[in-house]
Chain A
Amino acid sequence: MSQNRILVQTADFSVPEEYQRIAADNQDGAVVTFVGKVRDFNEGNQVSDLTLEHYPGMTEKVLDQIADQARERWPLNHLTIIHRVGTMHLGEQIVFIGVSSAHRKAAFAACEFLIDFLKTKAPFWKLETSDKGQGWVEARDADDQAAKAWEQ
């Protein structure tokens, strides 16, 4: 049975456990997952941690819409989006996307579509702590262009 699993939480997630859920059905020949992490640099600054703020209520609604759009475009079975909020330190996991499908092309494309749309449509904001102090991460034109490319 196909299903969307959408979670916004402060707690970390387990990639092996999430993989098990997505890979449970033998009708699926392809499972694609993506994990976004806190990296140690941004715009030339040494990053030590990130705090993610979101708009409760709207976030879940937008993630549901993005998941539905992916299902309209590709034949998917399982679909998981987990996004953490609160403070995360260097190397920690921020976001998980996982999809399963009969074939790899649909699974790869859907996973990329989901992260591109999440980055530009879902109401999350990153506050970064670095060697230069604390500051809000600016939206990137490259992310907007990646999301727009799916509309052509």
Chain B
Amino acid sequence: MINVLFFAQVRELLGESSLTLDAGEGTATADALRQTLASRSDKWARVLASDKLLVAVNQTLCHWHTPIKDGDEVAFFPPVTGG
């Protein structure tokens, strides 16, 4: 299983804070996972198409080509604005 998390505007716009997916072809990389989720509806496609969207795998910020394996935690979020 892949555990997927959403934060801030991304969480709010999707109306979901987390979900789980079976590991497979559609989750092989961070980008593949994004495309799989984007195919859910126009809303998901629009929110996940943002060129500002960031992805973290196992709590570390990473590139879209990062491989994902069973048991990983993947988070999607906008640029950070703390401090």
Q: Which of B5, B56, B59, B80 interacts with A125 by CB under 8 Å?
A: B80
Number of A-B contacts (CB under 8 A): 73
- Given the known inter-chain contacts A55-B75, A58-B59, please indicate yes or no for A122 contacting B9, CB distance below 8 A: no
- Given the known inter-chain contacts A53-B7, A57-B59, please indicate yes or no for A125 contacting B83, CB distance below 8 A: no
Q: Judging by beta carbons under 8 Å apart, are B80 and A124 in contact?
A: yes
Q: Judging by beta carbons under 8 Å apart, are B81 and A95 in contact?
A: no
Q: Judging by beta carbons under 8 Å apart, are A118 and B82 in contact?
A: yes
On chain A, the residues within 8 Å of B61 by CB distance are 121
On chain B, the residues within 8 Å of A143 by CB distance are 83
The interface residues of chain A, by DSSP majority, are classed as mixed
- Closest approach, in angstroms, between the C-beta of B9 and any C-beta of chain A? 5
Instruction: Name which of A14-22, A69-77, A132-140 contacts chain B.
Output: A132-140
Q: Judging by beta carbons under 8 Å apart, are B81 and A126 in contact?
A: yes
Q: Judging by beta carbons under 8 Å apart, are B83 and A123 in contact?
A: no
Is A36 part of the contact surface with B, judged by Cβ < 8 Å?
A: yes
Kindly state the interface size class of chain A when it binds its partner.
20 to 34
Q: B41-83: contact bitstring with A at CB < 8 Å (1 yes, 0 no)?
A: 0000000000010001001110000000000000101111111
Listed in ascending order, the chain B residues whose CB lies under 8 Å from chain A are 5, 7-9, 12, 52, 56, 59-61, 75, 77-83
Given contacts A55-B59, A123-B75, 14 further A-B contacts (CB under 8 A): A55-B7, A57-B59, A58-B59, A94-B83, A119-B83, A120-B80, A121-B61, A123-B56, A125-B7, A125-B9, A136-B9, A136-B81, A138-B81, A139-B79
